[in-house]
């Protein structure tokens, strides 16, 4: 294989990878693999807290988390739909990031929302509440976990391959 052939092959590979990178940063991919799974975690946490709270402050917290999660789910779904229509979204992925937009820092607020989502996941695991989910709820939890973790692995793998080919 000549140097010219190798260079051409490397350039074609780079263009293909750029298309993959473009897909990974599209709102539809981000929403389906991160935002919507996080909404599912929040909804199931809120529902579980509501059940465990039996009307007490924990029950009210559960209701508040469910309202927050449904709002975020609508925002993620809206961003996905607008992305598929090739239109820009006039709003962020979640309510906390939308609040951050008012301060000119939506990504910092989005990172805080991510921290809260991971805290919710850990709370469900460490309290043992995960075991109280119904079969359908557990299926949703597993599906959200699978979508989130597998997509993260694909993106990480792609980034490593891309880095090696640079």
- DSSP output for 124-156: HHHHSGGGGS-HHHHHHHHHHHHHHHHHHHHHH
Model pLDDT, residue 14: 58
Considering the entire predicted model, what is its pTM? 0.86
Q: What's the chain's length in residues? A: 166
d(CA 85, CA 132) in angstroms, rounded, equals: 40
Model pLDDT, residue 148: 94
Model pLDDT, residue 54: 79
Per-residue pLDDT tens over the stretch 1-13: 555 555 445 555 5
Model pLDDT, residue 10: 53
Q: Which stretches in the chain have pLDDT values below 70?
A: 1-17, 166
To the nearest whole number, what is the mean pLDDT of the chain?
90
Model pLDDT, residue 159: 82
d(CA 97, CA 49) in angstroms, rounded, equals: 24
d(CA 125, CA 141) in angstroms, rounded, equals: 11
d(CA 111, CA 48) in angstroms, rounded, equals: 24
In sequence order, what are the residues at sequence separation of 6 or more whose Cβ sits closer than 8 angstroms to the Cβ of residue 158? Answer: 17, 20, 21, 24
> What one-character DSSP code corresponds to residue 55?
T
d(CA 145, CA 54) in angstroms, rounded, equals: 27
Nearest 10 degrees: Cα torsion 42, 35, 143, 59: 10
Segment (H or E) for 122: helix 106-127
Measured in Å, how far apart are the chain's first and last C-alpha atoms? Answer: 19
Model pLDDT, residue 12: 56
Model pLDDT, residue 111: 97
d(CA 26, CA 34) in angstroms, rounded, equals: 12
Contact yes or no for 80/37 (Cβ under 8 A): no
Model pLDDT, residue 15: 62
Model pLDDT, residue 21: 84
């Amino acid at each position: 294989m000549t140097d010219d052939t190798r260079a051409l092959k490397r350039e074609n590979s780079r263009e293909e990878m750029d298309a993959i990178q473009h897909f990974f940063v599209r709102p539809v991919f981000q929403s389906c693999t991160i935002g919507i799974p996080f909404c599912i975690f929040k909804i199931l946490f809120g529902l579980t807290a509501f059940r465990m709270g039996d009307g007490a402050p924990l029950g009210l917290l559960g209701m508040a988390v469910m309202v927050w999660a449904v709002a975020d789910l609508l925002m993620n779904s809206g961003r996905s739909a607008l992305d598929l229509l090739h239109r820009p979204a006039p709003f962020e992925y979640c309510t906390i990031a939308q609040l951050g937009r008012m301060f000119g820092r939506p990504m910092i607020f989005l990172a805080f929302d991510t921290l809260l989502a991971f805290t919710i996941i850990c709370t469900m695991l460490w309290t043992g509440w995960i075991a109280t989910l119904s079969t359908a709820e557990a299926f949703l939890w597993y599906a959200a976990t699978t979508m989130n973790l597998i997509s993260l692995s694909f993106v990480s793998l792609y980034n490593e391959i891309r880095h090696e080919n640079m």
